[in-house]
Amino acid sequence: MPDCAPPLEHITPPDHALPAGACDSHFHVFGPADVFPYAENRPYTPPDAPFEALRQLHRKLGISRGVIVHPGCHGYDLSPTLDALDRGAGRYRAVALLPRDVDEPRIAELDRRGVRGVRYNFVAHLANGGWDELAAMAPRIAPFGWHLCVHSDQASLPGLLPRLKQLSIPFVIDHMGRASAAQGTHSEAFEALLGLRDHPGAWVKVSGLDRVSASGKRPFADGEALVAALLQAMPERLLWGTDWPHPNVGGDMPDDGELLNTFLRLCPDPAMRQRILVDNPHALYRFES
C-alpha cells in the first residue's frame, strides 16, 4: 500500500504563458507498479504517477521540456525513467541513481538516451551512497559532460558545499538546499548557498517551496524570501522545478499551478524568466535545439 499521498487532481491555472521551451527541471515518474515494480528495499511507497499523468500536468502548465529525477523507490532500476525518456522524443532529460560499480559502456548508453547526471541524497531518510562514492563517481562521469545532483538539507548543506566546490565537474543543489525558511536568509546554510554565485560550476534549483517552509501550509509563503534572495543574487545559476508528484510531503499537498504562479510573481522580468526556465536548463541538460 502507498505511504505517500497522491498529487492534487485539479490545479490552479498559470497566470501567464511561459516562454517557448520552458523546462520543469525537477520531477519524478513512479511506476506504474504493475509494469515497473518498486524496489524491494525502497525508502517509501508512492501511488503510481506515470508518464501519461506527467505529460498532462505539463500541458496544463505550458511546459514543453523537463528533467526526470530518478526516484529512490525504484532503486537502481532505471526502466521507468528510460521509458519516459524514450517516449518523450527528445523533450526530456534525466538524472539517475547509479551503483558504484557502473561501467563506462553503461554510462555511454545512458548518455545517448538522455541521462545527464547522477544524484546523491544526504537527507537522512533517503541517504544513498555517501561522499566517498560521490567523489569516486565524479571523474567517471566527467568525460560525458554530466553533473552531480545533490539533495541536502539544513544540517548537511554547509559541510557539503566546500567539498563540492573542490570537484572538477558541475553540481546542482536540489530544493534550495532545503535551507529552513524559519531561519531566514541569513542562516549558515542559506548564506553558504548564496555563496555559490561566485562558483561557475554550481547550479541551484528553485523548487521544493513546501520543503523549506516551516508552516507546511499552502501557499508556503514563508519560503518566498529564500526564492527572492536567490533570484536577486544568482539568476544565471538557477533552475526551476515542480517536484511533482511531491513524495513524502509532511504538510499540505502543493498545487503545481500555484507553485508556478509564485515563481512568476517573484520573477516578473521576462528576460530573467527566459533565462531560468529556458536558457539555463538548455545549457546544463543539453536539449536539442
Active site residues: 243
CA distance 25 to 68: 7
**CA proximity to 151, closest of 120, 187, 128, 182:** 120
Handedness of CA 210, 47, 155, 141 (dihedral sign): negative
CA distance 133 to 156: 16
Handedness of CA 123, 127, 132, 137 (dihedral sign): negative
Cα angle 202, 203, 207 (rounded to 5 degrees) comes to 150
CA distance 219 to 266: 13
CA distance 189 to 236: 20
**CA proximity to 210, closest of 172, 174, 259:** 259
Contact 111, 82 (CB under 8 A): no
CA distance 62 to 50: 19
Number of H helices, E strands in the chain: 11, 8
Contact 247, 28 (CB under 8 A): yes
- Could you say which DSSP state residue 123 is in? S
Beta strands in 174-273 (DSSP E): 202-206, 238-240
